[in-house]
Structure 1
Amino acid sequence: MRLLNTLIVDDEPAAIEGLRLRLEAFPQIRVIAEANSVAEAIRAINTQMPDLIFLDIEMPEQSGFELIRQLQPEQCPAIVFVTAFHQHAVKAFEVRALDYLLKPVKRERLAEAIARVGEVTSIRADKAQLLAAVAELSTEGHNQSSSTAEKTTAAEPQYCIESQKLVIQDGRNPIQLIPYQDIIWIDAAGDYMCVHTQTETHVMRARLKSLIDERLPDVFVRIHKSTVVNLTYIEKLQPLSNSEYKAVLANNKVLKVSRTYARALKQRLLG
């Protein structure tokens, strides 16, 4: 039996307490942290590295789907969504969460969800699949009466780069121009990338290699096969085992620096 280090994320303290008490009946579950917001959850994930998250969807400021956008692909835990809104249940399942639970959580359904987690070989979530579904959900309001030509454009998202800004254009949402100086880091999962600024995370359909080949400004450095970071936001490097590091950013985000890219990063930081 695998012991699963578990994080509970919900903006309602009573909901967290109720779920934690129910989870005590399952010896394979060890609750290591609780969070009332996406920001708290990110801090807990960075420090505790859970195997499993019970994730509420509807929360103030940022939803559970926003948390998905901020997870590094190689560190994405298994996810079981928890929601009081039935319309989210099917959506949650469609984003390839291992399962979803409706509030109030019943013990029988909780047992089924935990059994499902225990059955899978790898309990890491596939962020590429999660992002694909989140991107689809974010465009549900798009006018379904679009012409065939418009639908073709929407099915083939594009992006381009200007000297001072990254231009994101996917054919369905307004064109977004993001100053490079505002971009803290970019991570990729399959055909999708998350562009992180201080206040927002933008999802764009493109591959990281293509973006790098289009000559991102020199201030951006690759620290992992799926991650590039703006050097100006790195505040310190914390050594790990196997010559790897953690890069601590100005917004307290912690990113993994793989051994492959650690030496080049240190050289850039030391001048």
Structure 2
Amino acid sequence: MQTATDLVIGGLGFPVRLTFRDAGRTLGVDVEEIDWVEAAGNYVQIYTPRRTHLVRHTVKAMQTKLDPDRFVRVRPSAIVNADRVVRIVHRPGGEYLITMQDGTQIASSRSFRADVERVLARRQARTG
């Protein structure tokens, strides 16, 4: 288990690196390495290409630390890095199925539909 203890703030007021305490050691993760974040009770799992970090934090608290232009909350329990989304498929009822670069699929919820559509618009703008 890790506890968030420090943030290194970038130019826009959002962290570029998150620092955690784990068993007396300090570990860090660059925000740009984060693929997605998932709730796990009073903890979050931060998924990166190399490993998953379990941190004592809530999804809501993590959302305030991540740049909303890059990180989008797609359901109450998940935030995705928009740059790591490779596919978004519309599902009945206003939901979407989001596929990440590592193949992970995350179902969105209707309450976050507008946020998911913002990611979709961003992807379309990038691909022209």
Q: Does 1:159 align with 2:5?
A: yes
Q: Give how far 1:173 is off.
A: 4.5
2: CA distance between counterparts of 1:230 and 1:236?
13
Match of 1:202 among 31, 47, 53: 53
- 1:175 alignment partner, SS class: strand
- Higher strand proportion, which one? 2
Distance 1:173 1:246 in 2: 39
Provide the rounded CA distance (Å) in 2 between the counterparts of 1:256 and 1:195.
Answer: 17
Is 1:246 matched with 2:97? yes
Query: Structure 2: how far apart are the matches of 1:248 and 1:258?
Result: 14
The change in CA–CA distance for 1:256 and 1:203 in structure 2 (over 3 A counts) is: same
Query: How many Å separate the matches in 2 of 1:158 and 1:260?
Result: 28
1:257, 1:165 → 2: CA distance? 26
Deviation at 1:158, TM superposition (A): 3.9
The corresponding residue for 1:51 is none
TM-score when normalising by structure 2: 0.80
Let me know the Cα RMSD of the aligned residues: 1.8
**Uncovered stretches (5+) of structure 1, i.e. residues with no partner:** 1-134, 136-153
The AA in structure 1 aligned to 2:117 is: K
Match of 2:67 in 1: 217
* Matched-pair contact (CA < 8 Å) for 2:18–2:31: yes
What TM-score, normalized by structure 1, do the two folds share? 0.40
Moved over 3 A (4+): none
- Judged with a 3 Å threshold, the aligned counterparts in structure 2 of structure 1 residues 159 and 268 are, in CA distance, closer, same or farther, namely same
Q: Which runs of 5+ in 2 are unaligned?
A: 10-15, 123-128
- Aligned to 1:162, the other structure's residue is in SS state strand
The sequence identity of aligned pairs, in percent, is: 22
CA distance in 1, matches of 2:121, 2:88: 12
> CA shift at 1:236, angstroms?
1.0
Tell me the amino acid that sits aligned with residue 267 of structure 1. R
Q: Which amino acid in structure 2 is aligned with residue 177 of structure 1?
A: G
Whichever structure has more helix as a proportion of its residues is: 1
Give matches, 1:147-186, under 5 Å: 157-163=3-9, 164-170=16-22, 172-186=23-37
How many residue pairs match? The answer is 115
Query: How far, CA to CA, are the matches of 1:190 and 1:165 in structure 2?
Result: 23
